[in-house]
Structures are given as C-alpha cells and as structure tokens.
Amino acid sequence: MSSSSITKTSFWMVSILLIVTAFLMLAISYDILELHFYIGPFYAHHWLSWIGTTVIALYVPIYHWLKKVKPQSFKTLLSSHVFINLFSFMGISIHFTNQITRPAQFYPDLGTGIVLYASMLLLVATGFFSKFGILKTKGRSLRFVHLSVTVTFYLIILIHILHGLNII
C-alpha cells in the first residue's frame, strides 16, 4: 500500500471517528441516547470521561518517550497517538454533552470543565491539521500551538480534579 493511500485511509478513518463523536453528542443532546445512569457509584458518562482523561494523561508522555527511544517506529506511534486520543476525546465529549444539556435547575458549574473541553477541541483541531497538512503554517508554529495546548490541558486537568474534589 502506498504512502498516499495510507494517508487517505487514515484521513477518512479519523474523519469518520470525529463524525461519530459529533453524532453521539447530538444524540445525547436530543435525548436519543441516554448515558445518565449509574455504573457503581458514578454515572456512565463520568466513567467515560475519567477513562478518556486518564488514557490521555498517561499515554501522551509514553508516546513522547517512545518517539525518542524508537524513532524508527514514528509512523506507528503517531497512528496510535491519533486513534487512542480520539477515542478518549469521544468519551470526554460524551460526558461534556451530558453536562451542558442538563436542565437549568441541575445545571453544573462549568468553570474549569469548559476550559478543559476547549483545550481538547484545540488539541484535536491542531493535531488534525498537522497530521494531514490542512493548515499550512510557517515553520513549526502549529506544532508549537499543539504542544502548548497540551501543557495547558495537563494544568487544567489538575485544577479540574482538585475543583471536583472540593479541594480548591
């Protein structure tokens, strides 16, 4: 399989995954899909968000370390980075949609959650544009934005968790 056909296949797989995420969000918004039920002591959508965030928080440093240790595996590592993080993004998006579609009397304090989700959107967008060369930039400025937002994401995760646990 040629490099061009692999890129096209990867582009369509990533695009389909993003479209599925958008449809799931719409299905939750219009009460077609209900994930506001308990699994143990917490709601299903909370579990999806925690799993997604934990996977991202643990996998991204491992990915960067593996890139340094095994540079010959870069293409495989990049593909795993993209798909693992997009599935995590899907779980986080499901949780976010459940939160913002709650009735007014039960509406949450979005605070750090809205900033966290905005950083996730920026990470997905900059990653997508970088991987497929959609947004041409001078030098490495898009990569710089992607890495900067990654640092922001980690800081906001910490603050969001501390806020959720009523520590701050």
Looking at residue 138, its pLDDT comes to 64
d(CA 53, CA 76): 22
Average confidence (pLDDT) per 10 residues, the chain, 168 residues: 70 96 97 92 93 94 95 92 97 94 75 89 93 75 90 90 83
Instruction: Specify whether the CB–CB gap between 89 and 21 falls below 8 A.
Output: yes
- Surface-to-core class of residue 97, CB atoms within 10 Å of its CB (0-12 exposed, 13-18 middle, 19+ buried): buried
- Signed CA dihedral, 146, 157, 163, 37: sign only: positive
Looking at residue 71, its pLDDT comes to 93
